[in-house]
Amino acid sequence: MSKIAIIGAGIIGICIAHFLKKNGHHVTLYDQNDPGTQTSFGNAGLFAVHECITVNSPHLWKSLPSMLLNKNGPLVIDWFYVAKHLPWAIRFLRNCTSARVEHIAKSLSSFSYHARFAYEEIFNDLDVSNFIVHKAPIYLYESK
């Protein structure tokens, strides 16, 4: 039986710990905060295994100017740091092609397909399946 330390007690760390413990390992979770109170806290209880489209899609190019000019928009940049972040931004924008989005979506879809069954196994192991509601997502748009 191996002793394994996992840093991070969010949904990923907890799931990894569960499967390792189930396979006979001694697992210790380390996190400076209470389990599930950080990144995992903001997911509204949604297991979004269906979300496979990346943010950097070809449609981003059209929206970029208005997002940059709107101080309350989804993309706010501190212009003082533009030079520092420019190399990353260029790499990000180079991936705003249909081919890259399709490649990434296929990869995420394959990963997500297996994640769904892994979640179901955990829910069954912990006898919490009755708390899970399977519903299709609803998407709302401000405009067309």
For residue 21, give the nearest of 131, 125, 120 by alpha carbon: 125
Q: For the chain, what percent of residues have pLDDT higher than 70?
A: 91
Helix (H, G, I), strand (E, B) or coil at 68: helix
Q: Are residues 35 and 59 in the same domain?
A: no
* Residues 14-36 pLDDT 10s: 889 999 999 999 999 999 988 77
Element (H, E) at 12: helix 11-22
> Which amino acid is present at 92?
F
Q: What is the pLDDT of residue 50?
A: 66
The pTM of this model reads: 0.56
What is d(CA 137, CA 135) in angstroms, rounded to the nearest whole number?
6
- Spans of the chain, pLDDT less than 70: 40-47, 49-50, 144
Are residues 66 and 116 located together in one domain of the fold? Answer: yes
- Quote the domain boundaries for residue 35: 1-44
| Average pLDDT of every residue of the chain | 84
Interatomic CA distance for residues 61 and 143, integer angstroms:
17
Are 59 and 112 found together in one domain? yes
Could you tell me if 77 and 140 lie in one domain?
Answer: yes
Q: Indicate the burial class of 28 (C-beta count within 10 angstroms; 0-12, 13-18, 19 or more).
A: exposed
In the block, residue with structure tokens 């990353």 = 88
Whether 40 and 56 map to the same domain: the answer is no
Which class for 76: exposed (0-12), middle (13-18), buried (19 or more C-beta within 10 A)?
A: exposed
SS3 38: coil
Give the number of domains in the chain: 2
